[in-house]
Amino acid sequence: MPEEFKEDSHDHSNHENHLCHRSTFGIDEVFIDHVKKANFICKRCGRVATSAEYLCYPKEL
């Protein structure tokens, strides 16, 4: 596994707001609002979001 994806090498203090975590509870209107006009993609799971703050390993599209 690449070093950047190891759990201990990334700050997950705000993980409850990341879409990879939120998706486990289902997809609601808030989730949809965060992906409608995506500007970032998660380098690990491939989810997209309007802001980097909603992804664990964001990369600008």
pLDDT digits (tens, 9 = 90+) for 14-25: 777 777 777 778
**Cα–chain center distance at 13:** 13
The pTM is what? 0.68
pLDDT digits (tens, 9 = 90+) for 17-58: 777 777 778 888 888 888 899 999 988 889 899 999 888 888
Residues 6+ apart with CB under 8 A from 12: 18, 56
Exposed, middle or buried, 54 (CB in 10 Å: 0-12/13-18/19+)? buried
**Cα–chain center distance at 44:** 9
